[in-house]
Structure 1
Amino acid sequence: MNRLTRLAATLALGAGLALPAFAAPETYVIDDSHTFPRFSYSHFGLSTQQSKFDRASGTVTIDREARTGEVEIVIDMTSVNTGYADFNDHIQGEDFLNTAVHPTATFKSTQVVFDGDTPTAIEGELTIKGITRPVTLEITRFTAMPHPMLQRDAIGADATTTILRSDFEAGMFAPAVSDEVRIDIAVEAIKAE
């Protein structure tokens, strides 16, 4: 009986070693000094205006082997930077961002879409001015590598989507000033310790 028990234990151990190892989900904290949501729109058909938000925070959790992930980003809407101080104040008013009542916007993923072990899109919900709409961020670039300065694992991505200002009760002057707004976000995130 002793030999049989040892044989069973040896077989069980061998079977366990033969199973593929699954990577655990890894959480990364957004690097706010290298993460900038930008937005652009047609201004009376004269030019494409480009602006950004200077402060964003959040986390990215990813399991590339299991092809799952979660993304949560909080954008400080009071940090809007149009390049012109008076317009920064104007765009924070009630007709646009209404930052006195809604100082932040959020994006929360509902699904991360993969091609192999690389994420290609993030489906989720964008909330601006307390109004939530479904959006899909198309990932145009994704990189995972050790950060050359911090000596810690890092990820980076560029993603884009297009929304309608009017969907978020911010459609003043549309369509002369485009209702369509393109959002581009460059994200870098460092693996949580």
Structure 2
Amino acid sequence: MIEQLFNSLDETVKQSTLNDFRNFMSIHEGVTKWSIYSDYCIDDSSKLYNSATFTLIPYINAFDEVRATLKELAPKDLKKTKEVNQLFCEFIKSGYMFNLSILFKSGKEHVFHGIQKEAYFNSFDSLNDNLSEWIKNTPSMKDYYSKIIKKNNFMKQELARKTFNFKLLNNILLVGVPPTKRGKRTLSPQLSE
């Protein structure tokens, strides 16, 4: 099921998004500092879809300047606006920022639907094994990796509770688990590529 999601996403990105992103990057060639912002709509019954939107902005202007411009063009939250300022639309389309929105299915069609509790335990165990190896190979990072192992063990304790909210965990994983080097997702957070 996860592979279907990412095959579909891959096909979409290869059709136009990748070229659009390359064009965006060529316009901002030489920019070395970037800001990325995200917004999520998950399990909101008043919305048609679950979605994640990411916005990449070159750090050409200080964030306060960008925020002031956005506030001037859209003084209220767009969700509370009946009519969007045309200048705001032009600003969004100007090429100053790059937006990517991803739609996700919910319920039984949710990408993580049907994953058994044991798979989560195995993922955290596998991550802890990797972190233990990293401690051996990178002793200077021992404290950092040890903290992550401690957090993973706490998470395993939480997973064992009968009242654990798997729906929430699945939604967190949906928007928070980066792909591995091979482009496939794992249930374990990837700390280093």
TM-score, normalised to structure 2's length? 0.24
More helix by share: 2
More strand by share: 1
TM-score, normalised to structure 1's length? 0.24
| Greater RCO structure (CA 8 Å; 6+ sep) | 1
